[in-house]
Amino acid sequence: MSISQKMNEFAERSSWIRKMFEEGAKLKQEFGAENVFDFSLGNPDLPPPPKFDETLQRLAADTSPGLHCYMPNGGYPHVRQAVANQISKEQGMTVGADDMLMTCGAAGALNVTLKAILNPGEEVIVLAPFFVEYHFYIDNQGGVAKVVNTKEDFSLDLDAIKEAITANTKALIINSPNNPTGQIYPESDMKALGELLAECQKEFGTTIYMLSDEPYRKIIFDDYTVPSIFQSYQNSIVVSSYSKDLSLPGERIGYIAVHPDIEAKQPLLGAMTLANRILGFVNAPALMQRVVAELQGLTVDNEIYAKRRKVFCEILEQVGLEFTPPKGAFYIFPKSPLENDADFVNHLQKYKILAVPGRGFGMPGYFRLAFCVDDGVIQRSAKAFQEAMSTLKL
């Protein structure tokens, strides 16, 4: 075999979203894009806030010398300060420019963080359902993913988490609002989780990090709030990006922020900065760093996602699908009417509906629908869902 056995196995495990993307392309070519209902990809379709275009054009027109040179591996100091000011508001405590670094998106931030903290064979707890790449990021840095299921409503199962923690546990990844469920873990649960991790650290004499992956923090509905992880646990780290709240996934711009009082802060930040370089990222994109520094606190028009969520939930309810309405992000994660979620997704495809089976997110028996698509796609899908459900042989 010309490629590594591991990468070949990874390709098979990560194939579901790519497979649905490819199937969607075929269907669109055959039947026309307007007749295909593609809910497979979490690719935000809303335009960035108007200020983004103005800021980008102005900064791109600046021909001052040195603007495209290397900068400190952790990012421009003035950019880190601007981002730290915003994080301070979100986390409810003062975060400084020296408590963070800029990265190539949240994916880069997670890889940098895991590279900095993991020894070979140490475990990272992942809560199912989860973003499929977590497994690969952990493996990239020599760690072992340990999957713990959430409860039926996708809230934290603290008893299950406690049972999974051992002396070999190095970190736990939180993703709230969650991809694929849209669940937000409330402050009470986060504080209880923080207390649990603190107790386990004391019991085993180890350091256990809580990593909070927060690219959907600002995409929330019905007056829900995303609690501060820093208020819940001292050894906590936030990773995030501007891919979703500013609709800039292709620009690969994100950050890492550590709790101001995290243990061994300076060695940790030094390791992260080195990891940013030696993993090949070197530094976050220079132009995008300067752009996002001026866009702190801005988001896309979240009311558009809220409207789509409402319409989509009504359609799914009418056809009898069971689901927990998402509190944030732009996904719905219904139960599959068939025991085999892949079979149900294949059934939907006959009616030109593209979804992703739950097994792709570590939870068979469900499927994911992304509503970051044009309103008309959601509205026109109602008839297709009705036909798909009426012909389903249970």
| Joined tokens for residue 44 | 């935000």
CATH top class, domain 5-48+300-390:
alpha beta
Query: What pLDDT does residue 15 have?
Result: 63
CA atoms of 334 and 363, how far apart (whole Å)? 11
- For 19-32, letters b (16+ CB in 10 Å) and e give bbeebbeebbeeee
**Amino acid in the structure at residue 73:** N
Name 188's Cβ contacts closer than 8 Å, sequence gap at least 6: none
CATH for 51-293 (3.30.70.360, 3.40.190.10, 3.40.1210.10, 3.40.640.10): 3.40.640.10
Q: Kindly list the domain boundaries of the chain, sorted by start residue.
A: 5-48+300-390, 51-293
At 321, phi and psi to the nearest 5?
Answer: -80, 145
CA atoms of 94 and 161, how far apart (whole Å)? 30
Flag residues of the chain having pLDDT under 70: 1, 14-15, 17-18, 394
The answer to whether 133 and 361 have CB atoms below 8 angstroms apart is: no
Q: pLDDT for 29-64, tens place per residue?
A: 888 878 899 999 899 999 999 999 999 999 999 999
- Chain mean position to CA 303: 20
Query: What pLDDT does residue 8 have?
Result: 83
| Joined tokens for residue 77 | 């100091």
pTM above 0.75, yes or no: yes
The answer to whether 279 and 40 have CB atoms below 8 angstroms apart is: no
Query: What pLDDT does residue 259 have?
Result: 98
